[in-house]
Amino acid sequence: MNISANKEDKTYVITIEGEIDASSSIELDTAISEAIKKGERKILVDCEKLNYISSAGLGVFMSYLEDFEEQGIKIALFHMNDKVKSVFEILGLVDLIDIVPTREEAEKIVA
Amino acid sequence: MVFNVQFNVAVCSFLLSTFLCFKLYIGLSQKNSNISALLWDVFYAATVAILTCLLVKSTLLYFLNSTEWSLKVWNLFEFIIYTFFIAHCFFSIKRLILYQKTNRTIILWVIFELSVFASILTSFFLFKYNSLAFLLFTLPLTLLGSYLSFNVKWAAFLNFHQKLVALMLLIISFGIFSGLFLDIYEQHIISGMSLDPINNAFLIAISAFVLLNISISILVLLFSLPTSSVFEQKFGEVMLFQKLHQSIQLGETEKEIHKALLESCCDSALATGGWLEMTDANGRITSFENNGIDHIDAFNFKNLLRKNHIKITSEPQYIKDVKALSHLQKINTNRYKSLLLLPLLSGQHRLGTLVLLKDKVNAFDKEMVDMIITFMSQAAIAIQNSRLMGQALETERYREELKIAKQVQERLLPDVPHYSSDIEIAVLTGGATDVGGDYYDFYKDKAGDITVVLGDVSGHGTSAAFNMAQTKGIFQALVQLNLDPIDFLRYANTALARCFEKSTFLTLLVIKINPTEKTLQIARAGHCLPLYYSNKQAEYIESKGTGLGVVRGKDYASFIECKVLPYHAGDTLLLYTDGIVEASNKHGELFGTDRLKNVFINYKELKANSLLEKIFQETKAFSGKNEPEDDSTLLLLKFV
């Protein structure tokens, strides 16, 4: 699993590649907490190459929901494939995190 | 010289018995096994001999005025004392020569001793010292004696100080011996002694041997003084080896092994300073140990090596002159002139790196480097052992934890109840060998309503089992309050949000059955969609819902929808956890909801338990694995 983060023009983009299981979920946790520490307010997550996410990975996203809301951070996930999206849907996370098909829509959401 | 058979016999028996006595005396004496003690013994013997001689001589001469009688007494006395002294020396030397026994040495010695003793009998024959017979007898004996005398191996076992002491003792003993011998020789020249040691071939032989031996010992000790420091160093290294070996027994931490290794290598190489760096499989530094050099200097040296493109390979690298490198700005080249770089290897795998520095150019010699490499390989073995032990203990501990957690968990899952003949309930779990988070429970309230829940706590291992336990507690408490599913879930969510860790959540299906009105209330808190079979159709029931513990602080109830359905005889509701649909085959395909639906339809006529078994079999056949990876639970509600 590979996670990279880039500060772009107005947004902070985290790119996830591969599978997030119990062990790699720690890296995801680190990536998000670093973004928050740096004071990023507009976070985009590129899920194009994300193949699978386990409950541990989902838990990481969820654990930050409150923080995002408290600190006014806007986050949007984009380019997610159907398989992974259905996991988010079944869990009912689509109402809590914005998941959109394209990057443009994601940028609009966090703007 | 008196040539008298009886006299000769007396002399011979005296000599023989004296020598035999000393042989036994020195042979039995335990204290003689110590080299220094042996040498002191010789010294004492010599001192005693000379003092006694001087005492007796002065007494006789002073008091008895050199009469012939007194001279004869003196002669006899001196003969006896000399014999004692020579016998003592002879057997002490024997012990020294045989200090490190080899078979050859022992055999040669025995031959020598017997031959020398045989020479006692020569006093019965009259021969000249320069006759052929004499030569034939003495030459081989001399050669043998000389060969044996060069067996001065015992000298190597003394340290410098002990050698000096030994030297002093032997020189003094040599002096005393010479004094005694010269005195006897004088008398031999001046007056014909009746008891003349010089005319006794045996005593001459022994005297010559003792003289030769002491001289050779003195020379060897003298010439080995300069090299004794090397021997001491070698012994020192063996001691260090032992120390290193002891300190890397099982039970020592790795850190202690590092310290011991670094110390041994620095001592052995007489290094000014050095450091040992341990790295993990990814090349990250896990530990750093330094000796004689501080962190900053070590860091500067590391940079120096890097700037000079010196990489760590599996071979030792040696920089004979640090000044030959570039970028020396931060390096103290007065203190550190040569550098040795060694990898700590375990098979092909590099565990770490050792760097040693010395304050002389070209200061590491081959023997030193070989010695250090030996230390390193021993330490590598010990470190590997220590790690394996650690891993084994951890695995064992973990297995024990899991065992207990699994036992606890099994007790938390209830037996399948039989509430009424109209409702058939079946459950089948196929947990992974790991402790899982699948949870189900049942409750029938006073009104006859039946609540069935099936859920899945995120995660694995012991924490999942404990979270499951908390969930059960909350369920058992709330279910008594006769709440509708949405309220139930709302309270459950609040409670779990406080019990669970931030990233833990629970998916749950709550089914409330009203047997009187034959209705089902279904609330789906983020769990997999239940499959409902009715009217010859199998469909997944969709409803809005979010997992428990996800929404904290907001109004959770707004995220849940409760579906109400009537049920009829013959209807079946299949609940399951994600281990079933997420079973994957080697192509990465998931079993999926469609396959589940198909299997269900194909086998729906089977009895409840058989149907669940069949579904399980199908998932196993699909994935090709015997044990499911994730928790898999099937719960069937059949309305009769």
State how far the Cα of B435 lies from the Cα of B94, in Å rounded to an integer.
77
State how far the Cα of A63 lies from the Cα of A61, in Å rounded to an integer.
6
Kindly state whether B550 is in contact with chain A, defined as any CB-CB distance less than 8 angstroms. yes
Of A60, A90, A96, Cβ closest to residue B550: A96
Kindly state whether A93 is in contact with chain B, defined as any CB-CB distance less than 8 angstroms. yes
Residue A19 to chain B, least CA–CA distance (Å)? 12
**Nearest residue in chain A measured CA to CA from B545:** A92
What pLDDT does B1 receive? 46
Residue B196 binned pLDDT confidence (cut-offs 50, 70, 90): low
| Beta strand extents in A33-79 (DSSP E only) | 42-53, 74-78
Domain co-membership, B222 together with B247 = no
Kindly state whether A36 is in contact with chain B, defined as any CB-CB distance less than 8 angstroms. no
Q: Do A90 and B528 touch (CB under 8 A)?
A: yes
Per-residue pLDDT, averaged over B359-372, amounts to 85
What pLDDT does B435 receive? 67
State how far the Cα of B500 lies from the Cα of B495, in Å rounded to an integer.
9
Residues in chain A with CB shorter than 8 Å from the CB of B552 are 65-66
Per-residue pLDDT, averaged over B112-122, amounts to 81
Q: Does the pLDDT of residue B193 top 70, yes or no?
A: no
Taking the model in full, what pTM does it have? 0.58
Residues in chain B with CB shorter than 8 Å from the CB of A60 are 503
Establish if B405 belongs to a structural domain: no
Q: Do B459 and A58 touch (CB under 8 A)?
A: no
Q: What percent of chain B has pLDDT over 90?
A: 27
Residue B432 binned pLDDT confidence (cut-offs 50, 70, 90): low
Average pLDDT, chain B: 85
Kindly state whether A82 is in contact with chain B, defined as any CB-CB distance less than 8 angstroms. no
Q: Does the pLDDT of residue B3 top 70, yes or no?
A: no
Per-residue pLDDT, averaged over B48-55, amounts to 87
Q: Which residue has the higher pLDDT, B195 or B424?
A: B424
Residues in chain A with CB shorter than 8 Å from the CB of B505 are 55, 58-59, 62, 91
Number of compact structural domains in chain B: 3
Residues in chain B with CB shorter than 8 Å from the CB of A22 are 459-460
What pLDDT does B198 receive? 65
Of the residues B503, B504, B528, B589, the best mutation for testing chain A's interface (the one with the most A CB atoms within 10 Å of its CB) is B503
What is the complex's ipTM, to 2 decimals?
Answer: 0.88
Q: What is the pLDDT of residues A38-76, one digit of tens each?
A: 888 899 999 999 988 988 889 898 889 888 988 999 999
Domain co-membership, B88 together with B51 = yes
Q: Do A56 and B458 touch (CB under 8 A)?
A: yes
Q: Do A55 and B551 touch (CB under 8 A)?
A: no
Residue B370 to chain A, least CA–CA distance (Å)? 43
Per-residue pLDDT, averaged over B58-77, amounts to 75
Establish if B397 belongs to a structural domain: no
Domain co-membership, B486 together with B374 = no
Domain co-membership, B201 together with B284 = no
State how far the Cα of B246 lies from the Cα of B260, in Å rounded to an integer.
10
Q: What is the pLDDT of residues B471-524, one digit of tens each?
A: 999 999 999 999 999 999 999 999 999 988 888 899 999 999 999 999 999 999
Domain co-membership, B463 together with B527 = yes
Nearest alpha carbon to residue B560 among B505, B470, B484? B484
Q: Going from the N-terminus, what domains does chain A have, and what CATH number goes with each?
A: 2-110 (3.30.750.24)
Task: Look at residues B168, B197, B226 and tell me which one is the last residue of a structural domain.
Answer: B226
Task: Check if the beta carbon of residue B159 is closer than 8 Å to that of residue B228.
Answer: yes
Per-residue pLDDT, averaged over B588-594, amounts to 88
Per-residue pLDDT, averaged over B386-411, amounts to 86
Domain co-membership, B380 together with B431 = no
Domain co-membership, B458 together with B570 = yes
Q: Do B525 and A92 touch (CB under 8 A)?
A: yes
Q: Does the pLDDT of residue B41 top 80, yes or no?
A: yes
Residues in chain B with CB shorter than 8 Å from the CB of A29 are 503
Residue B103 binned pLDDT confidence (cut-offs 50, 70, 90): confident
State how far the Cα of A84 lies from the Cα of A19, in Å rounded to an integer.
10
Q: Does the pLDDT of residue A33 top 60, yes or no?
A: yes
**Nearest residue in chain B measured CA to CA from A60:** B503
What pLDDT does B251 receive? 55
Q: Do A91 and B544 touch (CB under 8 A)?
A: no
Residues B581-591 as b/e (b if ≥16 CB within 10 A, e otherwise) read bbbbeeeeebb
Domain co-membership, B161 together with B293 = no
Residue A97 to chain B, least CA–CA distance (Å)? 11
Domain that includes residue B311, residue range: 243-390
Kindly state whether B503 is in contact with chain A, defined as any CB-CB distance less than 8 angstroms. yes
Kindly state whether A94 is in contact with chain B, defined as any CB-CB distance less than 8 angstroms. no
What pLDDT does B136 receive? 75
Q: What is the pLDDT of residues B297-338, one digit of tens each?
A: 889 888 888 888 888 888 888 888 888 888 888 888 888 899
Q: Do A93 and B460 touch (CB under 8 A)?
A: no
Residue B521 to chain A, least CA–CA distance (Å)? 19
Q: What percent of chain B has pLDDT over 70?
A: 92
Domain co-membership, B358 together with B440 = no
What pLDDT does B205 receive? 81
Establish if B84 belongs to a structural domain: yes
Q: Which residue has the higher pLDDT, B438 or B451?
A: B451
Q: Do A92 and B460 touch (CB under 8 A)?
A: no
Of A59, A66, A83, Cβ closest to residue B505: A59
Domain co-membership, B366 together with B313 = yes
Q: CATH no. for residue B462?
A: 3.60.40.10
Q: Which residue has the tokens 């001592």?
A: B267
Per-residue pLDDT, averaged over B21-43, amounts to 77
State how far the Cα of A13 lies from the Cα of A35, in Å rounded to an integer.
9
B399, with CB counted inside 10 A (0-12, 13-18, 19+), is: exposed
Task: Look at residues B177, B196, B226 and tell me which one is the last residue of a structural domain.
Answer: B226
